[in-house]
Amino acid sequence: MPTTTSTSPTASTEHLTDLADLKSKLARMCEKSGIKQRFAHLTEEILAANPQSSPTARRHPSTPAVPELSASAAAKAIAEWGRPATEITHLIFSTSSAAARASSADRHLASLVGLSPTVSRTMLSLNGCAGGGRSLQLAKELAENNRGARVLVACCEITLPGFYGPGDGCLDNILGQALFGDGAGAAIVGADPVGPVERPLFEIAFASQTTIPGTEDVIFMEIKKGGMDYRISNQFPRLIGCNVERCLIDALDALGVCAKWNDLFWAIHPGGRAILDRIDGVLGLDDGKLAASRHVLSEFGNMSGTTVIFVLDELRRRRAANQDGGEAPEWGVMMAFGPGITIETMVLHAPAGSMLEGN
Ligand SMILES: CCCCCCCCCCCCCCCCCC(=O)SCCNC(=O)CCNC(=O)[C@H](O)C(C)(C)COP(=O)(O)OP(=O)(O)OC[C@H]1O[C@@H](n2cnc3c(N)ncnc32)[C@H](O)[C@@H]1OP(=O)(O)O
């Protein structure tokens, strides 16, 4: 929190009271957030060693740390996939933290990972927490329409551009200070797996995007000179709660899959504890159905579009270890929510034996 050197004792005292109120509000939000820990990629040492580490420049979203952190996630995904990086045909990279620079972060990422110069790149900027879902949906389209395509999906957020005190910007961003954390995730999407090297984890059976009318201003993000200005209305959990069931019914109907909500496995973007509680309540889910989402929220916080990739990873770990007990459902859903309000919905299929031990 910044301190002031105001010459007016009255103004100074009021300001300090405001800050004290804000600090206890932040503490209340953190306590109820369901988040045990979060991570920050950029340490004081990295910032001090970086020539861009002035108070303003360090907030600017053009930091090279975004492609660097993404490259470590992408390298792990490629190693697990088992084929050379040069056989990746497409790259989709989603971030809100490095959205204001060209040549862009996806180009930097491609060279850090050693992708072919002919790789076809697409960068998604400012899709916020829907970015992971959007990237996976686009990857599905590319994979199904280009024979032999292998699409590397990478998502990364570094919260530094949105990390500033109340004296520097809008007080509304306090929610972000309570929720967001840094992280990067990656996955490879393709059709017609080449056995025995390629072992599918989840099949994306259906994907859709829904925009909720009249909600343009519920989430607001804008890159400014000093960093990211953003606001998230406290109506967000309610609006998600009012709309998820329709999206799910439409998606399952399109596939002709008939299932009760509790017969499915669940990968929901854990935007905040209140969003998961709302979905639990609206759909009447059994205890533990959103365990993978709650675990990721607790251990990493909300990493925006990256989070849903962590949830899918946690889900397959739990299924491989049979952590949630009983027979693992064959069908499941993935949902992510972002500015718009946009809801990304996917129906996933995980045939028995598709998630090998130790993956
Ligand atoms: C994207 C990364 C980009 C990286 C670049 C760098 C920039 C980094 C950040 C950019 C952010 C951009 C966002 C884009 C992401 C979009 C998608 C998302 O997931 S969006 C995220 C989606 N996530 C959400 O929308 C979070 C959902 N909300 C929650 O999970 C809970 O409400 C809670 C945990 C915050 C509080 O628990 P709960 O049980 O409700 O407890 P109580 O009722 O007791 O309230 C306690 C206090 O909290 C207060 N308050 C509540 N809401 C808000 C608000 N919106 N506002 C302000 N304050 C709020 C409330 O007034 C009260 O204050 P007080 O009376 O004590 O003084």
- Which of the residues in the chain have pLDDT under 70? 1-17, 50-62, 166-172, 323-325, 352-359
pLDDT of residue 358: 31
Domain boundaries, the chain: 36-190, 203-349
pLDDT of residue 1: 30
pLDDT of residue 171: 65
Asked whether 338 lines ligand 1 (CB < 6 A), one says yes
CATH number of 36-190: 3.40.47.10
Q: Identify any residues that bridge with 306 across adjacent strands, giving them in sequence order.
A: none
pLDDT of residue 124: 95
Asked whether 234 lines ligand 1 (CB < 6 A), one says yes
Asked whether 342 lines ligand 1 (CB < 6 A), one says no
pLDDT of residue 50: 65
Asked whether 153 lines ligand 1 (CB < 6 A), one says no
Say what the ipTM of the complex is. 0.91
Domains 36-190 and 203-349 share a fold: yes
Query: Relative to the CA of 272, which ligand 1 atom is closest?
Result: 30
pLDDT of residue 21: 83
Q: How far is the CA of 143 from the centre of ligand 1 (A)?
A: 36
pLDDT of residue 207: 97
pLDDT of residue 146: 97
CA dist., res. 158 & res. 96, Å (int): 8
pLDDT of residue 26: 92
Specify whether domain 203-349 bears CATH 3.40.47.10. yes
Q: How far is the CA of 97 from the centre of ligand 1 (A)?
A: 19
Asked whether 235 lines ligand 1 (CB < 6 A), one says no
Find the catalytic residue in 129, 155, 156, 247: 129
pLDDT tens digits along 45-84:
777 776 554 555 555 545 788 999 999 999 999 999 999 9
Please indicate whether residue 129 is annotated as part of the active site. yes
Q: How far is the CA of 176 from the centre of ligand 1 (A)?
A: 6
Q: How far is the CA of 1 from the centre of ligand 1 (A)?
A: 19
